[in-house]
Amino acid sequence: MNKLDDKCILLTGATGGIGQAVLQQLLVCGAKVIITGRDSLMLNKLAGLAPEKINTFAGDLTDDATRRALLAYCQQLGGIDMLINNAGISQFSAANDQQLQTLVNTNLLSPMLLTQLFLPMLRLTKGTILNVGSTFGSIGYAGFTGYCATKFGLRGYTEALKRELADTGVRVLYLAPRATRTAINSPQVDALNQALGQGVDTADVVAKALVEQLQGGRPRRFLGMAENVFVRVNALFPAVVDHALSGKLKQIKQFFIGTGVKNSAEV
């Protein structure tokens, strides 16, 4: 088991629902955490939980200069052992209304570029990269075309990187939460999940799974029993899932109205 008590961990998206729960768990394990997000007030508030264990960095990770400044800040603090790429946004709407550039920049390009920047440091520490994906990184779902594309991409990137770094001592992990109760989901998505009887986790459930994965090193983890089955069936027999989801399409589309990108700077 990998101990976390002497580790320095960079956590993106720390101000969000899952990020805050992960931070709490990491502190329980005795880790030092560098937390990032755009909301500096929230970052300062979170730092108050354990000022001796938490350092904060506020900024938009889609910006190249910000990512480089974050690297410099972490170098100044003595480097990191683990990078958790957790920051993300979502959008639920018809494909024509999707803000694709913002979704791709935030959910796919930024974590890839951040990983690239931190790789030399992580090679030195034989560190860990954990990318937070989604069930929708394995199952294409109506209304989430852009989001699904970014999470499919992140899963592919993680798998290729893991295989490329297999001889370096750097661990590359992928965690796919299912629907989780946080602000990333618009009221329409919450209502859709309820209407479809979709299982929804708390952020604590995801955070516990994430920390277990950091400690145990399981390379891939998909949360939710039904979602696990669905992911496997979709991989082997996609037509079965096409059929199952087409039966729900009318209901899904009823929730399209009035949706938008959550947490995005672009309106």
The contact set with ligand NAP (CB under 6 A) reads: 13-19, 37-39, 42, 60-62, 86-90, 106, 132, 134, 177, 179-180, 182-185, 262-263
In the complex with ligand NAP, the residue whose CB is nearer, 35 or 241, is 35
**Least separation, in Å, of the C-beta of 33 and ligand NAP?**
13
Residue of 248, 264, 255, 244 lying closest to 92 (CA atoms): 255
Cα distance between residue 235 and residue 230, in whole Å: 9
73 is catalytic: no
Residue nearest to ligand NAP (CB): 16
In the complex with ligand NAP, the residue whose CB is nearer, 112 or 125, is 112
The two tokens of residue 215 are: 């400690």
**Least separation, in Å, of the C-beta of 166 and ligand NAP?**
25
In the complex with ligand NAP, the residue whose CB is nearer, 4 or 132, is 132
**Least separation, in Å, of the C-beta of 208 and ligand NAP?**
14
Neighbours of 44 (CB within 10 A): 12
In the complex with ligand NAP, the residue whose CB is nearer, 16 or 127, is 16
**Least separation, in Å, of the C-beta of 133 and ligand NAP?**
7
**Least separation, in Å, of the C-beta of 124 and ligand NAP?**
25
In the complex with ligand NAP, the residue whose CB is nearer, 125 or 262, is 262
Residue of 153, 139, 141 lying closest to 108 (CA atoms): 153
Which of 73, 141, 147, 157 is flagged as catalytic?
A: 147
77 contact partners, CB below 8 Å, separation of at least 6 = 8, 34, 55
The residues that are catalytic are 147
